[in-house]
Amino acid sequence: MNRLFKISLLALVFSIPALGWPQMGGPALVKVATASIKDIAAVTRVPGTVVSRNDARLSAEVTGRLTSVAEVGAVVLAGEPVARIEDTTLRLQNTELLAQVTRAEAKLRFLEGEEKRFSQLAESNLAAVTQLELTRSDRDVARGDLAVAAARLGQNEDQLARTDILAPYDGIVVERLMTPGERVEEGGMVVRLVNQQNLEVIARAPLEYFGFIRPGQPLDLSSGSTVAVGVVRTVVAVGDENTHQFELRLDLDGTPFPVGQTLRIAIPTSGSREVLTVPRDALVLRPEGQSIFVVDSNNQAQQVKVTVGVGQGDDIEVMGEVAPGDMVVIRGNERLQAGQAVSVMDG
C-alpha cells in the first residue's frame, strides 16, 4: 500500500509541468529607446513661485453702501459685476439733472427764435437792434448753461455706471475684503480677483548664471512628482546689490500648478555641450553601481556600467561603453540579467 502511494505521488510531481508550471528563462518583454547625442548644460535648481499675471484687488470708484459682493470661489467673466453699490441718491440726481438739461434746451430754443425775430425787425427798427444784441447775449449764456447741465448729467451717468464693480478679466474671487451692508469709500478695496489661466513663474538666480539664460529658453520646473516646462519670458538685467541675484519670469503652458505653488527651477550654470544621453528610465540602480541594458544584434540584453553626468528633462548624460544609436532598455529592466534574451515591444 505504501509503495503504491509513493508511485502515485511521484507520478503527480512529474506531471505538474504539463499542467501549466511556468517555463523559466524565456525572453523578457521590454521597451527600448535610442541613445543619442544632444546639447545639454549643467544645471542648478533655484526656488520659484507661481503667480497670476492678472491678480488684482478691485476697489470702489464711488462712495456708498454695498448691496452685493460676490462669494469667495465665484467664477466671473470679464465685464460681469463682482459687487454693487447702492445707487438711489445718484438716480435721484440723474432725474434732477435730466430736468435741468431739458429746461436749458427749451430756453436756448426760445432765445434762438427771438434772435431770428429781432434780426428781421432790426432792418427797419433801430430799437430792435439793441434788443437783438441783448437776445444774442442771452442766447450765448443759455448755450453755456446747457453745456454745463449736459456735463453734470454725463458725470452723474458715469458715476451710476461705476456703482457696479466689474471684473476687468475672467477670474475667480479669492477674497472678500468687504461684505454687503458695509459702506465703502471711493478707492476702498472690495474683492481680490485672480485669473487662474494666465500664469507665470517668478524666480531669482545668482548673478553668475545671468549669461546662460535668455528669453524664449525652456527650463524644467518641478514640485514633488509634478514636472512641467516653463519658457523664459523676460530676464531682468539688473541684479540686487545685497543678494547678488537677478529676476527671471517664465510663462507656463496650461495650469499644472496652483497660484502660490513653490517650484524648483533648473537653471543652466554653464554653456551647453554635446553629450551622449539616454532616457532617465534606462538607468538601473543596483548595489554594484549604476548601469544600463543595451540590446545587441542577437536580441540579448547586455549590462553596461555607466557614470552619469548632467541631466535635462527626461534625458541624462551617460559615460561608458555606449554608442549613439544603441538600443537601451527603458521598461522591463528592473529584473533583467546580463545576457538574457529579450523581446522588444512595438511602440
List the single range of 16-25, 65-74, 120-129, 232-241 with lowest mean pLDDT.
Answer: 16-25
Q: Is residue 17 part of a domain?
A: no
User: What is the 3-class SS of 259-296, one letter each residue?
Assistant: CCCEEEEEEECCCCEEEEEEEHHHCEEECCEEEEEEEC
Cell (9 digits) for 79:
465685464
Instruction: Kindly state the average pLDDT of the residues 217-221.
Output: 88
Distance, in Å, from the CA atom of 197 to the CA atom of 255, rounded to the nearest integer, reads: 6
Q: Is residue 137 part of a domain?
A: yes
Position 61 pLDDT exceeds 90: yes
Position 126 pLDDT exceeds 50: yes
Cell (9 digits) for 146:
446747457
Residue length of the chain? 347
Same domain, 126 and 189: no
Residue 70, pLDDT score: 96
Position 7 pLDDT exceeds 70: no
- Return the SS3 of 125: coil
Domain that includes residue 73, residue range = 61-85+163-196
Distances (CA, A) of 315 to 183, 234, 326: 59, 26, 15
Question: For the residues of 292-326, what is the DSSP string, one character each?
Answer: EEEE-TTSEEEEEEEEEEEEETTEEEEEES--TT-
Most confident option among 15-19, 182-186, 219-223, 228-232:
182-186
Q: Is residue 2 part of a domain?
A: no
Distances (CA, A) of 264 to 49, 209, 239, 253: 9, 16, 20, 16
Q: Is residue 131 part of a domain?
A: yes
* 132-163 tens-digit pLDDT: 788 888 888 989 999 999 999 999 999 999 99
Same domain, 108 and 231: no
Say if residues 274 and 11 touch (Cβ distance below 8 Å): no
> How high is the mean pLDDT of the chain?
86
Instruction: Kindly state the average pLDDT of the residues 287-307.
Output: 92
Q: Which helix (H) or strand (E) holds 71?
A: none
Q: Which of 271, 295, 321 is the last residue of a domain?
A: 271
Instruction: Kindly state the average pLDDT of the residues 60-75.
Output: 96
Residue 224, pLDDT score: 86
> What sign for the dihedral angle of Cα 328, 331, 335, 339?
negative
Instruction: Kindly state the average pLDDT of the residues 241-255.
Output: 87
Residue 5, pLDDT score: 46
Percent of the chain predicted with pLDDT > 90:
56
Distance, in Å, from the CA atom of 140 to the CA atom of 104, rounded to the nearest integer, reads: 12
Distance, in Å, from the CA atom of 74 to the CA atom of 88, rounded to the nearest integer, reads: 27
Position 49 pLDDT exceeds 50: yes
Position 72 pLDDT exceeds 70: yes
Residue 25, pLDDT score: 53
Angle ∠(329,334,336) on CA atoms, nearest 5 = 70
Residue 227, pLDDT score: 84
* 78-119 tens-digit pLDDT: 999 999 999 999 999 999 999 999 999 998 888 888 888 877
Task: Provide the whole-model pTM.
Answer: 0.65
pLDDT band at 347; cut points 50, 70, 90: low
Instruction: Kindly state the average pLDDT of the residues 230-250.
Output: 88
CATH of residue 121: 1.10.287
Instruction: Kindly state the average pLDDT of the residues 185-197.
Output: 94
305 beta partners:
291
Residue 254, pLDDT score: 75
Number of domains in the chain: 4
Residue 73, pLDDT score: 94
Q: Is residue 246 part of a domain?
A: yes
Cell (9 digits) for 345:
515591444
Q: Which of 146, 162, 178 is the last residue of a domain?
A: 162
Residue 12, pLDDT score: 44
CATH of residue 237: 2.40.30.170
* 16-42 tens-digit pLDDT: 443 333 334 578 899 999 999 988 877
Same domain, 145 and 123: yes
Q: Taking Cα atoms as reference points, which of 47, 33, 30, 45 lies closest to residue 311?
A: 45
Same domain, 71 and 81: yes
Question: For the residues of 164-181, what is the DSSP string, one character each?
Answer: EEE-SSSEEEEEESS-TT
